[in-house]
Amino acid sequence: MGLSEDVVRIDAVLHATPSRVAPDVAVAVAAETFGVQAQLATDLGSERDQTFLLFDAAGERLAVMKVSNPAEDPARLDMEALGARQAAQADPTLRIAQPWARPGSGQGVDSCRAPWQGPDALQWVRMYDVLPGRARLDPLTLDDVALHAWGDTTARLGRALRGFIHPGAIRRMPWDVQHAAACRPMLPAIADPYARAAVTTVLDRFDEVVAPRWPVLRAQVVHGDLTVDNVLADDDGIITGIIDFGDMSHTALVVDLASVLDSLGTDRTGEEMFRTARLVLDGYQRITPLETDELMLMAELWATRAAVGVAIASWRAAEGLEDAEFAERYNDSALATVEQFLATGWARSAELLGAPRSGPMALLPGSVPDPDAGDARRELAQRRDAVFGPAIEPLSYDEPLELAAADGVWMVDTEGRRYLDMYNNVACVGHSHPRVASAVARQWRVLNTNLRYLHHSAIELAERLTATCPPSLDTVLFVNSGSEANDLAWRLAAHHTGGSGALCTSFAYHGITAALAELSPETLYAPGPAPGGVNQVERWTPPDRYRGLHADSSDFVAALERLRQRGVAPAATILDGVLQSDGVLDLEPAYVQELLRLTHAAAGLWIADEVQGGHGRTGDAMWSFQRFGIEPDLVTLGKPMGNGQPVGAVITRRELVEKFAHDTVFFSTFAGNQVSMAAAHAVLDVLADEQVLPRVQVAGAELRRAVREATVHDDRIGDVRGMGLANAIEVVRDRQSKLPDVTTAVRVKDRLRDLGVLVGTTGPAGNVLKVRPPLAFTAALVPTFVATLEQALADVTG
C-alpha cells in the first residue's frame, strides 16, 4: 500500500524511518554532544526517537540519551523540554525527567538539544537524568491502589500543564483522537473485515457524537501519552518517573485520560474493564473534577483511542515500519476494548464510566424522543409502588413527571419539555443555583464532618441567623429537616414548660416525627389519634377572611379550654406563618399577637414554624413571624434553608437550651455538617446579593393583580390571595356560594401541567391552587403564567 497524501500530512515522524544509531556510536555521540564519558550504551527501544541508557566504567547509570528521529522538528523538541520544565515547577510532586542543558548553552529555548550529524541527516541529541523505577509495565499487574494513583497523576500532570502553550503543540497526530478522522485512509490496512468494521463504527460514532461537541470540551496542551510504556513505576505500580513529552499536543484535556484508560484497560474485559476505569477516574477527579460533557463522551474518546491504535499499528505493519507480530498483539487487546464498548452500547458505557443518566446531552435540540418513554415511565412508577409501599405520597399527576434537570424557575423532563415551576419552594433561590451548587460541590471535596470538631462554618451561620432575629433569640441548634426542627422545638418547649399539650391549626402540617404526627392533621384521614403520635393536641381553625369565618380568637380560646378540661398543660402553640396547608391564609398581626398572649398566659411557648414562610417567602421580612410583630420563643427552619440540601435549625432563647442541657445532651450526626452549612450560607448570600426580598414583594403583588384581572369574569375563581410568593387561587363552584370545587381545581392543575406550568393544590378541601414558585420567579414571568392559567381555565369546562 502506498502512502496516502492524508497520512503524509499527519505527522512526518509517523512514517519516517527511525534513526538507527548503534550503541557504540551512541557512546561517542554522548561524549561529543554533552561531554558525557560513558563506557557503555544500551538501546532502550523506542518508536519515535532512539533512547540509550548510558553507563560508566563501574556500571553505574549515568544518563538517558535521546537521539531524535531525523524527521523531527527541533521546535518540537524545545516544546518538550519547556513543557517538562514547566510541569515540574508547577507541581514538584510529579517526578518528571528533566532535560540537561547543553554545555555552554546558556538559558535559550534550544539549550536542551545538541546537534549531531547522523549518517543521513542532522539529528538532535538530548540528555536526561536517570529516574528510578521499572519501565514497560504490564497493566494487569497494577492493583486498585495503583490505578487510583495513575488517575491522580494524570490529573496532576494535566493541571501542571494548564498554562503551558507552544506553537509546536498545534499538530496533527492521529493518536490524539481529535484527529481520529486522519486515520480513515489507514483502514484498508486492517486485514480482518470484522476488525475493520468495528474500528469504522467507532470512528463514525466519533464523527457523529464527539466531533460536534469538541468545541465545548476544555482544551489545553496535554501530555497525551501517559501510558504503561511511557513511565517508570515502583514495585507497587506507582509512577516514579514521567519520561516522555514527545506526544504533547493542544487538544481536549480528557484526551489524556482516554489514553491512560486505554493503556490501563489493556486485557481487562467486561465488568472489570469498567470497574478499574472508574477507579482511575476517581483518582483523576480527586484533583480535577470532570465536566458533564467530558464524562458523557469518555466512552467514545477511549474507544476512539483504541480504534485509532488499531488503525495505526495495522498501517505501520503493512508499511514495514513496525514488527507485524508486535502490531498483531497490540491490535488484539485494542480490539477487545473496542468490542467491549460496541457490545455494551454507548449510553450504558457512559453510565458505567460515571456519566449522569439523563444529562444535558440527552436534552440536546434535535435528540429524538424515545417512542417507548411512556411505557418505561409507567414501569418505573410500578417499581416505585413495589419498593416504597403505599404510605408515601402518590406521584404528582396521573401521568407522572420524570425530571432530568432544572434551572432557576424552570424544570426539564427526560423528554426535554420545559415547565415553569410555580410549585417548588425548596429551591428557594432557584433550581441548581450556581452559588449553592458550587459551594456544596466545593465543600464536599474538602471536608464534611460533624459538630464535634471545631469549624467556622456552623458557628458563623448560627451567628448570621440570630442576627436576623429579635435579640432574645440568641441560640441555634442545627438539625437536618423541618420535621427535626419542629420535633426538637417541641421537646425544648415540653421540657421547659413541663406541659404535654400542643395547639396547632386545624389543617396544619409540621412534620413526620411521632411528636409531630398529631400536629399534622393535614396528613390524617380520620379523627382520632395519629399513628404513633405521642402528644396531646387540640386544634383551632384559623380565620378564613374570604368567607368571613373564625375572624377572632374564640376558636383558639376554645381549643385552649379543651386542653385545660383534659387536664393537660399546654407546652406550645405552633404556627406556620403562611398557613400553607390550611389554604394559604394571611393573618392579621393583632390576631396572632392575641394568640401568643393567650399561649403565654397559659404558660405555653410559641413556635414559629418558618419551614414554609421563612427565608424571604413573604418578601416583607426574612421570617414570616416578623409580619405579625411578635417575638416567638422558638423559630424552626427547614426546606428553603439549603435550597434543597437537607438542613434545618431551631433558633431559641438561651435559657431554654440551658435547661435542656441540664438533663440531656444534644447531638445529631449530620447536623451542622460543612456541606449543609455551605448551602445555607450560599442561600443567605444570594438572598442578599440578588436583593430577593424586594423582588419577591413586587413579583407577588404583580402576580396577584394580574391573576385577579385575568379572572375577573370567571365565577370559578373565588379568591386570589397571598403574601409575597406564597399565593393561593381558590377555586369555587361559584362566587355566590363560595363552595369549594376540588374537581375543577385538580383539573386546572393537571391542564396547567399539560401546558407547561407546575402548581399544586392545598387547603382543607383541596380546592386551592398553591402558587409557590422558587423565589427566582420575577414579575417578568407573570404574563407567561397568567396566559397559561387563562388557557387552562378555558380548556377546563363543564
Binding residues vs ligand PMP (CB under 6 A): 481-483, 486, 509-512, 576, 580, 609, 611-612, 638-639
In degrees to the nearest 10, what's the CA dihedral of 579, 585, 591, 592?
Answer: 20
User: How many angstroms separate the CA atoms of 368 and 357, rounded?
Assistant: 16
Shortest distance in whole angstroms from residue 555 CB to ligand PMP: 20
> Smaller CB distance to ligand PMP: residue 114 or 530?
530
Shortest distance in whole angstroms from residue 483 CB to ligand PMP: 3
The type of residue at 243 is I
The type of residue at 294 is E
Shortest distance in whole angstroms from residue 247 CB to ligand PMP: 53
User: How many angstroms separate the CA atoms of 632 and 624, rounded?
Assistant: 11
Taking CB positions, which residue lies at the least distance from ligand PMP?
Answer: 482
> Smaller CB distance to ligand PMP: residue 19 or 612?
612
Q: Any idea which residue has 385552649 for its cell?
A: 560
> Smaller CB distance to ligand PMP: residue 44 or 512?
512
User: How many angstroms separate the CA atoms of 82 and 87, rounded?
Assistant: 8
Angle between helices 674-689 and 692-710 (to 10 degrees): 70
∠569-573-578 over CA atoms, to 5°?
170
> Smaller CB distance to ligand PMP: residue 83 or 619?
619
> Smaller CB distance to ligand PMP: residue 95 or 510?
510
> Smaller CB distance to ligand PMP: residue 501 or 638?
638
The type of residue at 568 is V
> Smaller CB distance to ligand PMP: residue 283 or 511?
511
Shortest distance in whole angstroms from residue 636 CB to ligand PMP: 7
User: How many angstroms separate the CA atoms of 726 and 423, rounded?
Assistant: 10
> Smaller CB distance to ligand PMP: residue 50 or 483?
483
Q: Any idea which residue has 391549626 for its cell?
A: 505
Shortest distance in whole angstroms from residue 615 CB to ligand PMP: 12
Shortest distance in whole angstroms from residue 435 CB to ligand PMP: 22
Residues 519, 508: contact at Cβ < 8 Å? yes
Shortest distance in whole angstroms from residue 638 CB to ligand PMP: 4
Residues 493, 560: contact at Cβ < 8 Å? no
> Smaller CB distance to ligand PMP: residue 238 or 512?
512
> Smaller CB distance to ligand PMP: residue 182 or 579?
579
Which distant-in-sequence residues (6+ apart) come within 8 Å of 798 by Cβ?
Answer: none
- 160: Cα separation from own chain's centroid: 24
Shortest distance in whole angstroms from residue 503 CB to ligand PMP: 15
Shortest distance in whole angstroms from residue 481 CB to ligand PMP: 4
**Taking the alpha carbons of 482, 484, 487, 489 in that order, is the dihedral positive or negative?**
negative
Shortest distance in whole angstroms from residue 580 CB to ligand PMP: 6
In order of 87, 461, 634, 648, 661, the CA distances from 489 in angstroms are 56, 19, 6, 11, 14
Q: Residue 415 region, left (φ>0) first, then alpha (ψ -120 to 50), else beta?
A: alpha
End-to-end CA distance of the chain: 79
- 761: Cα separation from own chain's centroid: 31
